[in-house]
């Protein structure tokens, strides 16, 4: 269930647009900021507030990798494995992260601190290989850089 505060924020977003539906993306951001992910129940709640069908919310949530359809850890590490990043060894970076964290892609560490995912191009090809950690981009990755990033998150 969304908090009253989140519902108020969503109403504020809705008031900015001529159609309620236009507030769908901001509403999803508000929900994810509060809950860390977008559950089926949250999608239904947002659909009801915005007066659209739940499937329309699901279509948007499942299209954008920035929305989590499952719970994630405190730090969500998303490694780009698209062309430019792949050519510059993103797979090695991913393997290194798996080794360091002791999890496979798609998993969360037991302490709920790190979730590791792969994503499609995040538009930072010029500084490949890269990953996103929560809202922050980390570019020109090397194994040493990854170690430093993980150390800073402990």
Which residues bind to ligand FES, rule: CB under 6 A? 80, 82-85, 121-125, 128, 130
Q: How far is the CB of 127 from ligand FES (least distance, A)?
A: 8
Q: Of the two residues 47 and 146, which places its CB atom closer to ligand FES in the complex?
A: 146
Q: How far is the CB of 88 from ligand FES (least distance, A)?
A: 9
Q: How far is the CB of 89 from ligand FES (least distance, A)?
A: 12
Measured CA to CA, the distance from residue 50 to residue 117 in angstroms comes to 30
Q: How far is the CB of 94 from ligand FES (least distance, A)?
A: 12
Q: Of the two residues 52 and 133, which places its CB atom closer to ligand FES in the complex?
A: 133
Cβ atoms of 11 and 46 closer than 8 Å: no
DSSP letters for 18-51: SSGGGGHHHHHHHHHHHHSS--HHHHHHHHHHHT
Q: Of the two residues 80 and 116, which places its CB atom closer to ligand FES in the complex?
A: 80
Closest CA to 65 of 111, 115, 7: 115
Q: Of the two residues 22 and 66, which places its CB atom closer to ligand FES in the complex?
A: 66
Q: How far is the CB of 126 from ligand FES (least distance, A)?
A: 8
Sort 106 into a burial class: Cβ within 10 Å, 0-12 / 13-18 / 19+.
exposed
Between vectors from CA 112 to CA 28 and to CA 38, what angle results, nearest 5°? 15
Q: Of the two residues 2 and 130, which places its CB atom closer to ligand FES in the complex?
A: 130
Cβ atoms of 103 and 63 closer than 8 Å: no
């Amino acid at each position: 269930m969304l908090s009253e505060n989140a519902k108020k924020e969503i109403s504020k977003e809705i008031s900015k647009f001529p159609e309620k539906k236009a507030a769908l993306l901001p509403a999803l951001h508000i929900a994810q900021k509060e809950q860390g992910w977008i559950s089926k129940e949250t999608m239904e709640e947002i659909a009801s507030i915005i007066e659209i069908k739940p499937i329309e919310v699901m279509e948007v949530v499942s299209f954008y990798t920035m929305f989590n359809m499952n719970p994630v850890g405190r730090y969500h590490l998303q490694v780009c494995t698209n062309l430019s990043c792949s050519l510059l060894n993103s797979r090695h970076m991913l393997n290194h992260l798996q080794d360091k964290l002791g999890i496979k892609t798609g998993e969360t560490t037991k302490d709920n601190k790190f979730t590791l995912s792969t994503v499609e191009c995040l538009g930072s090809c010029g500084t490949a290989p890269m990953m996103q950690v929560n809202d922050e981009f980390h570019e020109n990755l090397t194994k040493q850089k990854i170690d430093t990033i993980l150390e800073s998150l402990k």
